[in-house]
Amino acid sequence: MNKTLHNRKLLNIELGRVSSEEYKTLPDSGIAVVLDNIRSAHNVGSAFRTADSFKADKIWLCGICALPPSAEIHKAALGAEDSVAWEHADDTMHAVETLRSEGYTIVSAEQTVNSVMLDTFVPEKGGKYAIVFGNEVSGVDQRVVDASDFSLEIPQFGTKHSLNVSVSIGVVLWHFRLHNMR
């Protein structure tokens, strides 16, 4: 067998992806992403791209987060800032209160005394989850952790105490989609 043909990379047109307009008509996933004071526009852009990939319904950009339109966001998002719905809140607690009133379970992606390890957590079928990801240095604000229904922790096995926030978003959203909540 010709290995070159066997392992040929797919062309973008062969991937069968939906357009930005079609994305907006897809069924809701029940996942909202909340960015709590993410200082890097590149991390915000990566969050958009990951949210698009795993079909998050919305991103809340809270506090000091950069907002579209932004060249730095676009560089990492590659246009996903146009497909994923987003909203800005000056204070993350406003987003949390709004999402709770809409029936979301509020989950902080954070290491806490009582955090649930991600590899043991199975999301409830049909549930709605708003997952809060925190600042690159200080994590999720303690007020937001206190207001959350629970915290999820990504198991780690090396010397570092955390992952880059954009990596954390990918790991957590993959876990939720793996369990195909809807």
pLDDT digit string, tens, across residues 28-78: 999 999 999 999 999 999 999 999 999 999 999 999 999 999 999 999 999
Banded pLDDT at 4 (limits 50, 70, 90): low
Q: Which of 36, 81, 37 is nearest to 58 (CA)?
A: 81
Q: How far apart are the first and last CA of the chain?
A: 40
Share the mean pLDDT of the chain.
95
Is residue 162 over pLDDT 60? Answer: yes
User: Quick one: which of 18, 43, 23, 48 has its CA closest to 33?
Assistant: 48
CATH superfamily of 19-178: SPOUT methyltransferase, trefoil knot domain (3.40.1280.10)
Number of residues assigned to the chain: 182
> Residue 120 and residue 7: Cα distance in Å, rounded?
35
**Which of 133, 115, 103, 122 lies closest to 181, judged by CA?**
122
What tokens were used for 82? 């146009």
What is the spatial distance between Cα 28 and Cα 158, in angstroms, rounded to a whole number?
36
Report the greatest alpha carbon distance in the chain: 59
Share of the chain above pLDDT 90, in %: 88
pLDDT for 180 beyond 80: no
